[in-house]
Structure 1
Amino acid sequence: MDILTAKKLIMKHTQGHAAVITKAVTAERYYRNKNDILYKKNADEENAENPLRSADNRVPRNFYGLLVNQKASYMFTAPPLFDVGSQESNQVISDTLGDIYAKNCKDLCVKASNTGMAWVHYWVDDKQTFDYGIIDAKEIIPIWDSHLNKKLLAVLRVYKNIDDEGKTWNIYEYWTDTECWSFQKLDDDTIDCELIPYSMFMDFADAGSGTAPNQLKHNFGKIPFVPFPNNNICTGDLDNIKALVDTYDKVYSGFANDLEDIQEIIFLLTNYNGANLNEFLADIKKYKTVKLQSIGADDHSGLETLTIDIPVEAREKLLDMTRKAIFEQGQGVDPQPQDFGNASGVALKYLYSLLELKAGLMETEFRLGFGMLIRAICDLKGIKIKTLTQTWTRTAIANDLELATICKDSVGIISNKTILKNHPFVENADEEEKRLAKEKEQLAAESDSYKAAFNKEGAANGNS
């Protein structure tokens, strides 16, 4: 790829990406409880014309972080399991995903919730080992075709790098289903003038095949980036609740400011007959009286106090309404104490109904992403997939006694494998099957030993 073509591609596809980055940064900031209330105008500027207002409380509430963590824990505390029809192949896939797989699942959920879509990049390292990692979605610009069945044509990855001299460079990687090209420019320069090749593939360059130091050819047969959309329209979870969270923060912080300001009683003095205000405060404390000077019958000499009235009931009502709306719009579970007692499974499912709807939308999209990732692993490992089955487990408050009873009553009606997968005490149905088989073997061995000993004793008695 020549420089001119690269410039055209980069300028075409980076247009509008700044807005995507801004939106993602805002969601990530709210996830860390850095809400807009913390960055409003300084109180001294806002209250310059109102000397009665001096408090400047800024109290953010991390409703958004709670909702995102709820979804991540609900869906991925027990990460999805994969079955390709062979125990040996399943073990190879599990080993390839590695111990970090569960953490990666939660990170994918959080990143997709913040940015609307998360991305996994996979590659083969210098030891020809399959590896994968989560890429910051702000770096990825996907290029889709215009067909109804949308297909990924290429991926443009844009990120920054600081060289040994302290200069900041913008790096551009353009990935297709056969190769990758890399380019760079100084952060302060324009693409049109200063784009140059970035020799990041120097070790892979092959003079015989004609590959350049900024070119990498791969044999995946597909673009090694897997999309994980948050939902069917690729929107983040903050979109539905940001205005509500900002309203709650504003009302709550304003309430705290009023309570702080009202603690100070403001005295209004007219014709005070004293030397200074310190003397006035001393007289109030010691004598409970104040000396005032009258200048006639029609003067207005006197002492008054000024306080601030706070509409407590209206604010409490607004805070309650806003909190309820946040969990409804955010499709989460309000953690405020509720008296469920020994609730049935139906009542507990109702509690999680909105969260389940949101999780279902994500699961539908994530199933496609995990399917692409597992097939990429199988292609590299030479595994033939008969059927790819994904088992998803939710982590929620449940009535274990009720679930265990249902499993017990289902024996003989459905397969034992299905019962094991749905039993509340079983985390991995395959491992549980192995344990059950081992226990049966031990019981059979003990039974044979007992029979042998009994027969031996019977034979000895008969002979005697």
Structure 2
Amino acid sequence: MPNEKPYHERAVEALAPQYETQEEMIIRLIEAHKQNIDDITVGQRYYNQRNDVLKIAPKKDADGQVDNEKPNWHITTNFHQNLVDQKVGYTVGNPVTLSHKDDKVVQQLQQVFNNRWDSKLVDILTAASNKGVEWLQPYIDEQGEFKLFRVPAEQAIPIWTDKEREELQAFIRYYKLNDEEKVEYWTNTDVTYYVMEDSQLIPDYYHGENNVQGHFSNGNWGKVPFIPFKNNPEETSDIHMYKTIIDAIDKRLSDTQNMFDESAELIYILQGYEGEDLKEFMNNLKYYKAINVDSEGGVDTIQVEVPVTSTKEYLEMMRSYLMEFGQAVDFQTDKFGSSPSGIALKFLYGNLDLKANKLRNKTHVAIQELLEFVIQHFKINADVKDVEVVFNYNRMMNELEQSQIGAQSQYLSKETLVTNHPWVKDPQAEIERIDAEQLELNAQLPSIEDGVEDANQSEDNKPE
């Protein structure tokens, strides 16, 4: 074309960096994020027992119309919920304990890491197991109190500084509130509030005249205040490990129930039927208990047989695959007897340990990040690396065997023995009780000074 730019000019323009505004970047990332929301939430959907089997279309008749008389079961199983609850309960069912050489530091940390935190952590890791990652935002409320807010993964769009996904450069929160699309853009110093209208961002003045504010009223954290609780290094949901197996089980159960319902009915074989179509035949049979056939005609029937044995074997096989691929503990197994030893239990929990350890490692990093915010806000005289984070796995154990090991372990510290004793649920509280009992016992025993005084009095009372 005569007015077209020369090739070399077009090539230079194509290679030149394409700059975009902050708002354009946010809109682009939000549109990309929307495409992934179904993948992010599929695990949560299965956890709530909204399995894909519910989407199976109803049966249709020969004319292509929905046949409401046809059995159409949609049986869902809660295998995913069971496996997630097993892993999370195993990992943090017993509260995660924090310890430090200075008891005062522990008491200060307990302002945040209390019973309410233990419950919140279970909810966060359950969501992380369903979605691959869940986010936690530390913030300061209007009264100056330190608070924690859980941000669902479907609302979170992190912007990382590197491919390792370890440090945040910025964070976008996108959510709907009262039919409005709200957008928050967080950096290490401030947050910008927007409302999205017609795919455009406009300032959200609900937060004041200035839609750009600090993290809290009198300052900022100095870093992006969002903490990822990752399910595993890949940040993927557990559901992808075994979703197809659950779908196959749901479908087989539904089909089998349909066959059971249909087995009560008969299949009719017609010979010499004089009617127009099968609908007329069924209507005549239903209302008149009779049908018209020619001189050589007749009706035979076949009873539907349900393959119960093969179905049972198939479901048992699929359940076994589910336990293996889902890295779960199958408590229905009879391989280890009624009272397995410690070695047998280690084998039983082997797969679950592999899966739980990934969650534990990522959770340990997240708790350390949270500790940085807590120490900063409460001005605690401690370093994060000096706070020990201990996960107390909720593993079934042979209590007699475990107690005997503890009783024979005379060279271990009191803290180690108490932490690993099967009857102890709160090691720190148990140690405090032991120390209190020891102090009370010492108070009841005669002191050395009392013994010396008694001896001196005995010498003075001797006859000369």
TM-score, scaled to structure 1: 0.83
Pair 336,47 (structure 1): closer, same or farther in 2 beyond 3 Å: farther
Q: Does 1:197 align with 2:193?
A: no
Counting matched residue pairs gives 426
Once residues 376 and 409 of structure 1 are traced to their aligned partners in structure 2, the CA distance between those partners, rounded to angstroms, is 42
TM-superposed CA distance for 1:360, in Å, is 0.2
Note closer, same or farther for the CA distance 1:314–1:200 as it changes in structure 2 (3 Å cut): same
Using the TM superposition, name which of 378-387 and 135-144 deviates more: 378-387
Alignment equivalent of 1:373, drawn from 353, 356, 370: 370
Partners of 1:328 and 1:177 in 2: how far apart?
43
SS, match of residue 100 in structure 1: helix
TM-score (norm 2): 0.83
Structure 1 Cα separation of the partners of residues 416 and 352 of structure 2 = 25
What's the CA shift for 1:49? 8.7
Structure-to-structure mapping, 1:55-454, within 5 angstroms: 55-146=71-162, 150-162=166-178, 168-186=179-197, 189-191=198-200, 195-202=201-208, 212-217=210-215, 218-268=219-269, 270=271, 277=285, 281=289, 295=295, 299=296, 301-336=297-332, 338=334, 340-386=337-383, 387-412=386-411, 414-448=412-446
Displacement of 1:463? 8.9
One-letter code of the match for 1:429? P
Q: Is the 8 A contact 1:33 1:60 kept in 2?
A: yes
Give the distance between the partners of 2:66 and 2:372, measured in 1 at CA. Answer: 66
Question: Cα offset for 1:314?
Answer: 3.1
Q: Distance in 1 between matches of 2:180 and 2:421?
A: 54
What's the % identity of the aligned pairs? 27
Separation in 2, partners of 1:463, 1:20? 96
The amino acid of 2:195's aligned partner reads Q
Cα distance in structure 1, aligned partners of 2:244 and 2:229: 26
Deviation at 1:34, TM superposition (A): 1.0
For 2:141 and 2:293, the matched residues in 1 are separated by: 91
Select between 46-55 and 320-329 the one with higher mean Cα deviation: 46-55
SS in 1 for 2:238: coil
Query: Does the 8 A contact of 2:182 with 2:196 survive in 1?
Result: yes
Could you report, residue by residue, the CA deviation over 1:359-382 in whole angstroms, capped at 9, with x for unpaired residues? 000111111100010121011111
Q: CA deviation at 1:433?
A: 2.0
Unaligned 5+ runs, structure 2: 1-19, 275-282
1:214–1:177 Cα change, 3 Å: closer
Question: Deviation at 1:47?
Answer: 9.4
Change beyond 3 A, Cα 1:272–1:400: same
The alignment status of 1:43 with 2:59, answered yes or no, reads yes
- Once the two structures are superposed, residues 313-370 of structure 1 have per-residue CA deviations (whole angstroms, 9 ceiling, x without a partner) of 3322322221111111111122436362111011122222111110000111111100
Q: Aligned AA for 1:319?
A: L
Query: CA 1:312–1:80 in structure 2 vs 1: closer, same or farther (change >3 Å)?
Result: same
Paired residue secondary structure (1:180):
strand
Q: Is the 8 A contact 1:47 1:53 kept in 2?
A: no
Contact (CA 8 Å) 1:52, 1:261: kept in 2 or not?
A: no
Q: Return 5+ residue gaps in structure 1 as ranges.
A: 163-167, 206-211, 282-289
Q: What SS is found at the alignment partner of 1:398?
A: coil
Q: Quick check: 2:194–2:211 contact (8 Å CA) kept in 1?
A: no
Deviation at 1:213, TM superposition (A): 3.9
How far apart are residue 239 of structure 1 and its match? 0.8
**Cα distance change of structure 1 residues 452 and 151 upon mapping to structure 2, 3 Å threshold:** closer
Aligned residue for 1:332, secondary structure, equals coil
SS at match of 1:448: coil
Give the drift of 1:421: 1.4
Q: CA deviation at 1:452?
A: 7.1
Shift of 1:150: 4.0
Q: CA deviation at 1:140?
A: 0.6
Q: 1:271 to 1:12 in 2, by over 3 A?
A: closer
Contact 1:173 1:181 survives alignment (8 Å): yes
Root-mean-square deviation over aligned CA pairs? 3.2
Amino acid at match of 2:446: D
Given residue 435 of structure 1, which amino acid in structure 2 is its aligned partner?
Answer: R
- SS, match of residue 76 in structure 2: coil
Deviations 1:256-315 (A, max 9, x none): 111110111244455699x9646975xxxxxxxx999873xxx3x333112224333332
Compute the displacement of 1:250 (Å).
0.7
In 2, the alpha carbon distance for the partners of 1:34 and 1:53 equals: 24
Counterparts of 1:124 and 1:51 in 2: how far apart (Å)? 59
